[in-house]
Copies of this chain bind each other. A is one copy, B any other.
Amino acid sequence: MGLDALRAFLDAEFPQVAEDLELLDVSPMHLVMRALVHDRHLRPGGTVSGPSMFALADVAMYLAILAMIGPEALSVTTNCSIDFMRKPAAGANLRAEARLLKLGRALAVGDVLIFSEGGDDPVARASLTYSIPPAKG
């Protein structure tokens, strides 16, 4: 799936989050996405909440898998390990860079770096595993 097909899928299947997410780039085993940060994503002090960053990492990797195997095989997140390393910059959007490290028949594994836009140091990193259901005959 290319950028346009992934964007249409995002709008159709994740209407609750699609308006905050912009797909920037996709290539084999890689995907880059922007998250628009609004007040509802913030914690006291103006920082982006952990669950918002978790959601961004999860959607970015989910779409990176979809881009490789197509929209029929609905993979399911089975594990995520996420490190919150720096406080995101106030008033900045986030950029997620996802890379797939393994795309097997039953499991996919990858990791994601999240940056505040304009910053060079990652604010969070996540590794995620997805279970891919068997294709129907």
Contacts and interface: CB of A to CB of B under 8 A. Distances in A.
A129 B78 CA distance: 9
Contacts of A54: 50-51, 54, 80
Contact of A109 (B51, B77, B80, B85): B85
Contact of A85 (B44, B82, B84, B101): B101
Contacts of A109: 83, 85, 125
B50 A129 contact: no
Interface in A15-32: 16
A22 to B, nearest CB: 18
Interface string A108-132: 0101010000000110010101010
Contacts of A76: 84
A8 interface: no
A82 B82 CA distance: 9
B77 A79 contact: no
Given A50-B55, A102-B121, 19 more contacts: A16-B40, A50-B80, A51-B52, A51-B54, A54-B54, A77-B84, A78-B85, A78-B129, A79-B81, A79-B84, A79-B129, A80-B81, A81-B82, A83-B102, A85-B104, A101-B121, A101-B125, A102-B122, A111-B111
